Amino acid sequence: MLNHTDFDLQCTDLVRQFDDFTAVDQVSFAIKKGSFFSILGPSGCGKTTLLRMLAGFDDPTSGDIFIKGKSMIGVPPNKRPVNMVFQHLALFPNMNVSENIAYGLHRQGINKVEIKHKVEQVLARVNLSGSGQKKISQLSGGQKQRIAIARCLVLNPDVLLLDEPLGALDLKLREHMKVELKKLQQEFETTFVYITHDQSEALVMSDQVAVMNHGQFQQVGDPQQLYFQPDNAFVAGFVGDSNKWSATVIDILSDSLQVKTTTGLILYAQKSNEKAFIIGSEVEVFIRPEAIHISQVSTAKADQNQLTATVNNILFDGANSQLLVEEQTSREEIKVKLPQTAEFIHLKKGDNLQISFPKQQVNVFPKLQDK
Amino acid sequence: MMTKGKSKTPLKLGLLLLLCPLLLWLVLLVILPQLTMLNISLQERIAPRIYEYGFSNYIEFFTEPLYWNTFLRTAVMSIIATVLTLIIAFPISYYIAKMLRGRAKGLLLVLCLIPFWVSELVRTYGWMILLRESGVVSSFLQYIGMTEGPIEFLYTDATIMLGLVYSSMLFMVVPLTSTLESLDDSYIEAGYDLGGNGLSVFWQIIVPHAKPAIVSGCIVVFMLTLGNYLTPILLGGKSSLWFTEQIFTQFITRFNWQQGSAFGVLLLSISSLIVWLGLKLSRQSFSKVMS
Amino acid sequence: MQISNCKSLIAVGFTLCITAQSVNAETLRLLTWGGYAPKAVVDMFKAETGIDVEVTKSNNEDMIAKLSATRGGGFDLVQPSQDRIASAQAEFNIYKPIDLSKIDNKLFVTSMLDSTLKSSMYDGKPYGVPHIWGTSGLIVNSEKAADVKDYADLCNDAYKGKVTYRLKRPTLIAFAFSMGLDPFAAYNDPVEYEKIMLQVQDKLISCKGNVKAYWSGGDAMKNLMRSDETVAAMAWDAGGWQLHDDNKAINFVAPTSGALGWIDAFVIPRKSKNEAAAYKWINFVMQPKIAALITDSAGNFTASKGADEFVNAPLRAKYQSSFDTASVDNIKWYPPVPAGLEIIEGKVLDRVKAAK
């Protein structure tokens, strides 16, 4: 067993059962001190229930939660060393900024002078010095965000829980706040548990990400692992952008698999040791658009999938521009990243291209059984 | 100039026509009766059929301890009834708004509402049937052997209070429930999460949020109670002594319209003053509370 | 659109006015006491004259209040007690003098007619003719309160919370007599009258613990007596006789200091719209046979000459059981109330009500 004290938060076999529905199903994980841990999943995957159990608003049906090695079962929310930033922040509208931040300190019975000092200190750390007397309604979205975090961090919690707090912000501000949150986390060195359905938020900010679906953790790992080595079809499809096809294994070679999509596109994929396939098994195939190399001329190399395709559509989006191309024999449509280089600037609809990608970049998973 | 006039006149006329019912209602049914009452209240009886303007009816109110005490008693009882109503209605509203979901919520609100489908008179008689000496409660207590003889529950101040609180409950529960419903659960959870206990969450988060509803509920209940006539008379019996009863008596049994009008004007102005004081004390503005 | 609306509104208004008027032409609006215009009599009147009678039940104070609000309008005939006619006329000018030529005075008991004409005299003109008379006294449950003989006995310690009476002027007068005072003699001396009233006030305040409730309607009083919640009451004779029918132990008792005699009269309001019908009604109901019907309904006797022989025997028997000759002689008939006395009484009543 792991040593409890290395971890700020640890869950073992956590289950939350509602009448005939299991919201959280046998979840175990441990979060290292001072790390930024995200739980990423689609809505309804059980991540909010999990977070509410961590905060103490809901009790697990079975399993245990440890914070700094102490079991939290039966400990009410106001006695747990965790604090939560709510989805809509829940800043008290009848109090000004200072009073909001001081609320928790008052509850701890700290004297007024010290409270005043601490409030000023935390306001300075979130770059909002002098805003203490402002009303909540006078703050901008980003400022409210920072106050909500300051209100929790001033209490010096072991773990800070964040329930999709960026969801209500507009895109620009969200991008900005991602960076800011990460910085705040590093500065305060507090363990953050962040739940979101936005993979970009999770990837940008986290040290560790857990992908959750149907109440279970599908994969836990750092962002790169999730992106490049997804454990299963769900993670591969949910994290990042992919070309996804249903296919059948048609041949098994010494170090690779040969699969054929429903439209007849034949691809080579790396054979992995963990996943055993037999000929004829149904699989799902994922290839990231940016893993596909395009060129005007054939640059065939060994171990490469090499296809000829016609440009169907150009989706210009600056650095994120993509091409939709059609493979010539199977007429399968493939998403390809379009590098904004001089070579491809004059590319137009109907042009022929060579596309190639290494078989290591082709991920093959057993077909998901729909739950 | 011409075009301007042309374009403006129909609009103004339309607005005026739209406002007509409201203005008529205000003038004919609100302002005019009050002014008439004020006028009557300022007439002193000199001899049969001879009246002169003067303040004697008002002086009478302040010099005759009977009237002044009755008013004071009415106001104090009304304030107590308002506070009691608030204390009882708050947990009920909180339960309806926050604890219940779906059907049960609607059902409980309707249960609160049902007594108001029958008239106040019927409701009050219902209480009398329950509480009188030969009534249901007294008989039941004798039946289970709690008491030897019949007990009279009617005709005490406590009974009046019971009736007043009962008939005011809805006017407190409805605004409170709707306001508490608008309080997002996350505020309450945030309060606990930041270390607050039930008491501090209640006083620092729930009450401030519900304050406008509390104040508006209190104003409505206070005014209804102060102006209640049937409940104190029927449940209070020989000792009821309610200010509206004084007004009724002056008008109907003493034919002293002048004195009755003066009491009416005083009731209106003093109760307005109390409401104003209440608003000042709770630091609420009338427009905010009533919106 | 708006104009047509207006037109239709006006049309509706006119129609209403016309219907109202046409109804008025054949309707007698009568403001009276419960039981004074039984349905049978109203139907007979309609059959004979074609006039509908619209009956509104009321009491002395309410009659004056209603008429003073409209300055004598809204009704065609009212029935206040004879002692309260002249003072109300003096104060509010709500009645018009009675036209004796339109009254068939052969129908009336002469002494009563003379008494009412005299007591309702204002500014040299008579305003009322008598209709029904009766008394106020005690209603006693002889099984539970046999020793209640006079008003003051209601205040005996034995009857704590067990008696009921009205908080109105007859109670003040009754207790004054019972205390050996003579309020009627002081009617024209406000200072002396106030003195008497203040003594009554003290008595009634000290007696308050005995009172279950101050009754305000005959039915409330009867309920209290029937349910044994009270054992003695000050009330009207007719109410006592009705209770006697249900419970033989309860009956009307003429108090030793004298029952208070009242006569309810007919008076025409100043703005009566159908005076002719009013006179027709008076002459109709004073016929002996009709008067006897009303006696059966109201429980009290009328001023109709020769009606007594048509009254059913049980009622006569009950009357006789409550009033022997001495008691009849001892009845204190209300003299007309001088204007202004009611202000004194009003304050006394308020103070009694307010006392703990």
Tell me if B195 and A94 make a contact (CB, 8 A cut-off): no
Do A212 and A292 lie in a common domain?
Answer: no
Q: How far is CA C178 from CA A152, C155, C163, C294, in A?
A: 83, 11, 16, 32
Q: How many C-beta atoms surround the C-beta of residue A226 within 10 A?
A: 27
Does any domain span residue A118? Answer: yes
Average pLDDT, integer, range C238-260: 92
CA–CA separation, C140 and C165 (whole Å): 12
CATH superfamily assigned to domain C136-260+333-354:
Periplasmic binding protein-like II (3.40.190.10)
What's the CATH class of domain C2-133+262-326? alpha beta
Residue C297's Cβ-count burial label (10 Å; 0-12, 13-18, 19+) is middle
We report the CATH number of the domain holding residue A60 as 3.40.50.300
**pLDDT band per the 50, 70, 90 thresholds, residue B8:** low
C15 has pLDDT over 70: no
Closest partner residue to A155 among B194, B197, B209, by Cβ?
Answer: B194
d(CA A234, CA A214): 11
**Stretch B82-101: mean pLDDT, rounded?**
93
Neighbours of B, requiring at least 3 CB pairs below 8 Å, are: A, C
* pLDDT value of position A274: 64
The residue whose two tokens read 């307005």 is B272
Structural domain of residue A79, as residue ranges?
4-236
Nearest to C82 by CA among C48, C108, C107: C108
- Give span(s): CATH 3.40.190.10, chain C: 2-133+262-326, 136-260+333-354
Neighbours of chain A (3+ CB pairs under 8 A): B
**Tens of pLDDT along A146-186?**
999 999 999 999 999 999 988 878 888 888 889 989 998 99
> What is the per-residue DSSP string for C113-161?
HHHHHHHT-BTTB--EEEEEEEEEEEEEETTT-TT--SGGGGG-GGGTT
On whether any CB of chain B is under 8 Å from the CB of A92, the answer is yes
Are C129 and C255 within 8 A, CB to CB? no
CB A164 within 8 A of CB A51: no
Beta-carbon count within 10 A of A328 CB: 12
CATH number where A329 lies: 2.40.50.140
Listed residues A188, A211, A236: the one ending a domain: A236
Phi, psi angles (nearest 5°) of residue B78: -65, -40
Contact at 8 Å (CB) between C59 and C79?
A: no
Q: Which of A78, A151, A152 sits opposite B192 (nearest CB)?
A: A78
pLDDT digits (tens, 9 = 90+) for B129-147: 888 888 888 888 888 888 8
| Minimal-distance CA residue of chain A relative to B205 | A92
| Encoded tokens for B266 | 């005083």
A265 and A162 belong to one structural domain: no
Question: Do the bridges between strand A7-18 and strand A62-67 make them parallel or antiparallel, or are there none, so unpaired?
Answer: antiparallel
Least confident of A204-208, B238-242, C217-221: B238-242
- Give B64-68's long-range contacts (Cβ < 8 A, gap of 24+): B64/C347, B66/C347, B66/C350, B66/C351, B66/C354, B67/B246, B67/B263, B67/C350
Is there a domain that residue A371 lies in?
no
The 10s digit of each residue's pLDDT in B174-208 is 999 999 999 999 999 999 999 999 999 999 999 99
What does the mean pLDDT of chain C come to?
A: 89
* Lowest-pLDDT choice from A254-258, A288-292, B30-34: A254-258
How far from A255 is each of A193, A268, A359, B48, CA to CA, in Å? 40, 10, 10, 123
Q: What mean pLDDT is predicted for residues A1-26? A: 84
Q: B51-290 adopts what CATH topology?
A: MetI-like fold (1.10.3720)
Domain final residue, candidates A236, A254, A275: A236
B257 touches chain C (CB under 8 A): yes
The pLDDT value given to residue A123: 93
Token pair for A330? 């199977």
Q: Does B63 touch chain C (CB under 8 A)?
A: no
- The DSSP code sequence of A47-98 is HHHHHHHHHTSS--SEEEEEETTEE-TT--GGGSSEEEEBTTB---TTSBHH
Residue B193 and residue A76: Cβ atoms within 8 Å? no
Question: A with B: how many residue pairs have Cβ under 8 Å apart?
Answer: 63
C297-309 pLDDT tens trace: 888 999 998 888 8
Last residue of a domain, one of A195, A219, A236: A236
Q: What is the rounded CA–CA span in Å between residue A147 and residue C203?
A: 74
Per-residue confidence (pLDDT) for residue B48, from 0 to 100: 79
Tally of domains within chain A:
2
Min distance B21 CA to chain A CA atoms (Å): 39
At C25, is the pLDDT very low, low, confident or very high (cuts 50, 70, 90)? low
